[in-house]
Amino acid sequence: MKIALAQLNYHVGNFENNTKHIIENISLAKQKGADIVVFAELAICGYPARDFLEYTDFILLCENAAQEIAKHCVDIACIVGLPIKNPLIEGKDLYNAAYFIADGKIQNIVKKALLPTYDVFDEYRYFEPNTKFECVNYRGKKIALTICEDLWNINDNPLYVSCPMDELIKESPDVMINIAASPFNYRHDEDRIQVLADNAKKYKLPLFYVNQVGAQTEIIFDGGSLVFDETGEVKAEMKYFEEDLQVFDLDEIQNVKNKYPAPERASDISQIHDGLILGIQDYFKKSGFSKAVLGLSGGIDSAIVCALACRALGAENVMAVLMPSKYSSDHSVKDALDLVKNIGCKHEIIEIKEAANAFDNMLAKPFTGLAQNLTEENIQARCRGIILMAMSNKFGYILLNTSNKSECAVGYGTLYGDMCGAIGVIGDVYKTQIFEMARYINRDSEIIPENTIVKPPSAELRPDQKDSDSLPDYDILDKILFQHIEMQKGSKAIIAQGFDEALVKRILKMVNLAEFKRYQTPPILRVSPKAFGMGRRMPIVGKYMD
């Protein structure tokens, strides 16, 4: 039996394009001699569809698309994911399901049993868990078909009380097939491989796993579909961050060595870089946009975002706006212009001194007798925000936010100023990782100017300002933030690792107090195991960590 894995980029709610793309790949798989072609979890509607799933018409369109796809499944079978109605009045209204289609008809329906409701997942909000399990029979082979999370209850700390494969294995299947929508983070690929390998070893069956690729707003899917033999050895690993279709012979998977060599493992920074480019591309393409604008300060954060945007959209579609203040250094303007020269994007220079002075004059009376402080710094940042939004409105640019994760964590940014934007490009990338990415981008030639990388970070909103005036050293700050955010450690546990007690408590308090700011920031492209946004839900007025 030859099994094709179709790793495609879907668009939530775009039934016409999703259906067309699936049908095209059914034809391609047939041309390549496949007996079965396998598509991803909820492929027909796109994942995650969120509250679209609450609309009856949306579910009807999914079913109509499936019926159209079925017409093309002649001399080839396909497995495709979609939401379906729960016929019983008890329980949730829908199932997360997979259709097994052959001979132009839906032959089997498999429903997902284990519904993740953590981090970015919220499936129990919509779906009823399956409780009945049966293999699919096709061309003399018995297939144990499961959906994503159904294979993840295999570790030492199981999240669920049941395991679908424990039921399916009783029917003595010949092969496991798992369809997934498994979001990217730079640590997830190795975890994913280990979990799937453990399944193959435990049940002593070859395993075919297909993941989707592409980005849906802030969630990025990296592909990396996999094939394992019955010993848990990776026999094939498909492309990352790209669409791919490959056909595998079940007998060769079990009996032939090195038939499908796996690619070399990519570094964390390489994965983050490629994920962010895909995230930018899909945000623009799927939203119907093509041109971006950003504020280019001469600092490393905006330089990285500019470089990523130019690679994602083409330099001709990126407008960098330099907005020097009376405190901006000459080298900042030069560094920004050097980047523009290296990268070839469009640019404008719009000084904010006149606007900031106008606000100072307007506020002179109510501020009489009060010393300048953070208020005047924030006014400058908001002047820049007004300019960028004006450029967006006038020319149809989409504003890219350039705040990094370290800044977002501790609230080192100005609401309605440097924190505005339509999409947060690097809001899930710590400052220390930003420096690594600059070196990665410059691996073949200098794109990010060297002075941008080596100079002390500064917002340049007051004379001789440095980030270090307000924040701990980034090397220490990021380590503490990682323990608190990604590892979900409290102050006692972090202090026990050897960090200074006063510093830990200060940083965690900053994180807690900045929650109100993060609620008002744009969606942030998710590249870490715990990103700000829908995967980290904290109360604004909570006192824990104060």
State pLDDT tens for residues 446-470: 999 999 999 887 766 667 767 777 7
275 is in an annotated binding site: no
The span from the CA of 200 to the CA of 193, in Å, is 11
**What is the CA 348 to chain-centroid distance, rounded?**
31
Query: Which amino acid appears at position 347 of this protein?
Result: H
296 is in an annotated binding site: yes
The span from the CA of 486 to the CA of 254, in Å, is 38
pLDDT number for residue 458: 73
Q: Phi then psi for 12, rounded to 5 degrees?
A: -55, 125
DSSP secondary structure code for residue 128 in this structure: P
| Three-class SS state of 167 | helix
pLDDT number for residue 130: 97
- What are the b/e assignments for 237-255, b being 16+ CB within 10 Å? bbbbbebbbbbbbbeebee
470 is in an annotated binding site: no
232 is in an annotated binding site: no
Structure tokens at 211: 């993941």
407 is in an annotated binding site: yes
**What structural domains does the chain harbor?**
2-260 (3.60.110.10), 271-467+513-518 (3.40.50.620)
Residues in the chain: 546
The span from the CA of 75 to the CA of 215, in Å, is 32
363 is in an annotated binding site: no
Structure pTM? 0.95
**Sheet containing 207-211, strands listed edge to edge, beginning at the edge strand earlier in sequence:** 136-138, 141-147, 175-180, 207-211, 226-228, 234-237
Residue 399, beta-bridge partner list = 293
- Find, among 536, 538, 266, 318, the residue nearest to 425 by Cα: 318
Q: CA-based diameter of the chain, in Å?
A: 88
- Find, among 237, 249, 300, the residue nearest to 435 by Cα: 300
509 is in an annotated binding site: no
State pLDDT tens for residues 344-359: 999 999 999 999 999 9
**Helix H segments across 288-352?**
300-313, 330-343
The span from the CA of 539 to the CA of 468, in Å, is 29
pLDDT number for residue 3: 97
Which region holds residue 430: left if phi is over 0, alpha if psi is between -120 and 50, else beta?
beta
By annotation, the residues acting in catalysis are: 41, 112, 148
Structure tokens at 534: 């829908």
300 is in an annotated binding site: yes
pLDDT number for residue 201: 97
CA terminus-to-terminus distance, the chain? 60
The span from the CA of 110 to the CA of 62, in Å, is 16
The span from the CA of 473 to the CA of 476, in Å, is 6
**What H or E segment, with its residue span, contains residue 92?**
none
pLDDT in tens, the chain (546 residues): 999 999 999 999 999 999 999 999 999 999 999 999 999 999 999 999 999 999 999 999 999 999 999 999 999 999 999 999 999 999 999 999 999 999 999 999 999 999 999 999 999 999 999 999 999 999 999 999 999 999 999 977 788 988 999 999 999 999 999 999 999 999 999 999 999 999 999 999 999 999 999 999 999 999 999 999 999 999 999 999 999 999 999 988 877 666 666 667 789 999 999 999 999 999 999 999 999 999 999 999 999 999 999 999 999 999 999 999 887 667 889 999 999 999 999 999 999 999 999 999 999 999 999 999 999 999 999 999 999 999 999 999 999 999 999 999 999 999 999 999 999 999 999 999 999 999 999 999 999 999 999 988 776 666 776 777 778 999 999 999 999 999 999 999 999 999 999 999 999 999 999 999 999 999 999 999 999 999 999 999 887 665
| Three-class SS state of 277 | helix
The span from the CA of 4 to the CA of 2, in Å, is 7
Beta strands 77-85 and 105-111, pairing class: unpaired
Distances (CA, A) of 507 to 55, 407, 475: 43, 11, 13
CA-based Rg of the chain, rounded to a whole angstrom?
Answer: 26
pLDDT number for residue 135: 98
DSSP secondary structure code for residue 466 in this structure: -
